[in-house]
A and B are shown apart, each in its own frame.
Chain A
Amino acid sequence: MNLRRLFSRSRSAPAARDRLQLLLAHERAAVGGSDLLAKLRDEILGAIAKHVQIDGDKVSIKMERGAQVSTLAVDIEIPFEAAKKAA
């Protein structure tokens, strides 16, 4: 056992508690049907689908659930043809 390793390591339980509290807050909201991030995701995709037919493989969605702020990033490739037609 490397002593420096032993002492330099901070305790991991507080990290576990913080991660769990954050995760469970979001999960409970999801079970209660009030997962805002998922709702926004679906509505944004629905709004786009009204105007252009897009290939699911060309839509990349990223989420990051945070304690104070969450982020939702929707990245869509819209073909030039589709954009012209819709205009």
Chain B
Amino acid sequence: MGKVIVVTSGKGGVGKTTSSAALGAALAHDGAKVVVVDFDVGLRNLDLIMGAERRVVYDLVNVIQGEAKLTQALIRDKRLETLYLLPASQTRDKDNLTAEGVEKVINALKSVFDWVICDSPAGIERGATLAMRHADIAIVVTNPEVSSVRDSDRIIGLLDSKTVKAESGERMEKHLLLTRYDPARAERGDMLKVDDVLEILSIPLLGIIPESMDVLRASNLGTPVTLADQRSVPSVAYFQAARRLNGEDIPMIIPGEKRGFFGKMFGRKAA
């Protein structure tokens, strides 16, 4: 049985979709069978970030409404054989997502894939609550910035009350993914520190992804950043986060800290 991950945040624009694609591709690159599911009905973007936008035949709503089979809606990645996308509907309303329908789809995916990664829409409404409903693991994507941290706290509350896991008295495994981290601003002291965010939210840290041109470039090209340039700083950070998900113990590096001479000179541009 595969594991279900929800990538969530409350706030929009923090990097959920970027992270869903990057982590999904990293896990698949390391050999796992992965499906990333877009729950952002009406505003789908995961297809664009994965470069599959021209190949969408059916979507999640079609499957839930019985208009297409799950196998017909899944799109296989052109670069990685074990990476699949289940797109959201662009034209249908999110009320078409039913709790029973979502449960069926997730259960079917779980029996085939090692990882089912649910890219949550922003907000705390139906789309977001359905995306987290059947998760085994939650990745809370947070920017080091006051409103994002506050929204993450709200989402953590929902994860601990409104999910199947929580309702059955089990503990939801939660991880913090700190994204769009700017080493230069951190150095100036104008950004919340990693330790501050960790102390406030008190969930374990999965990774720190720096603010980076490489992310923008990868999304322009429709390539998950972990497949675009595997040596880029954000790519390495995502690969390490993926390995931590697999239980590996990898030391955490805070971007911009403990840099050598060359790191100081060139590090900022690289990030």
Q: Which 6 residue pairs are nearest across A and B when measured between Cβ atoms?
A: A12-B220, A16-B220, A56-B69, A65-B54, A12-B217, A1-B270
Question: A16's closest neighbor in chain B, by CB?
Answer: B220
Report chain B residues within 8 Å CB of A23.
Answer: 48, 53-54
Report chain A residues within 8 Å CB of B221.
Answer: 12, 15-16
0/1 string, B17-49, CB within 8 A of A gives 1? 000000000000000000000000000000010
Kindly provide the distance from the CB of B104 to the nearest chain A CB, expressed in whole angstroms: 14
**New A-B pairs, 17, CB < 8 Å, besides A19-B48, A56-B69:** A1-B270, A2-B231, A12-B220, A19-B220, A19-B222, A26-B54, A30-B91, A56-B72, A57-B71, A59-B72, A61-B57, A61-B72, A62-B57, A63-B56, A64-B54, A64-B55, A66-B54
> In the bound complex, how far is the Cα of B89 from the Cα of A30, in angstroms?
12
Interface of B is mostly: helix
Task: Give the total number of A-B pairs whose CB atoms are below 8 A apart.
Answer: 55
Report chain A residues within 8 Å CB of B48.
Answer: 19, 23
Residues of B near any A CB (own CB < 8 A): 48, 53-58, 68-69, 71-72, 90-91, 216-217, 219-222, 229, 231, 266, 269-270
Judge whether A57 and B69 touch: CB under 8 Å: yes
Judge whether B91 and A31 touch: CB under 8 Å: yes
Would you list which residues of chain A between 33 and 87 have a CB under 8 Å from chain B? 41, 56-57, 59-66
Q: How many residues of A contact B (CB 8 A)?
A: 26
Kindly provide the distance from the CB of B49 to the nearest chain A CB, expressed in whole angstroms: 11
Question: B58's closest neighbor in chain A, by CB?
Answer: A61
> In the bound complex, how far is the Cα of B72 from the Cα of A78, in angstroms?
16
Report chain A residues within 8 Å CB of B90.
Answer: 27, 30
Report chain A residues within 8 Å CB of B53.
Answer: 19, 23
> In the bound complex, how far is the Cα of B91 from the Cα of A59, in angstroms?
24
Report chain B residues within 8 Å CB of A59.
Answer: 69, 72
Question: B53's closest neighbor in chain A, by CB?
Answer: A23
Question: A17's closest neighbor in chain B, by CB?
Answer: B220
Would you list which residues of chain A between 5 and 37 have a CB under 8 Å from chain B? 5, 9, 12-13, 15-16, 19, 22-23, 26-27, 30-31
Judge whether B57 and A15 touch: CB under 8 Å: no
Judge whether B72 and A60 touch: CB under 8 Å: yes
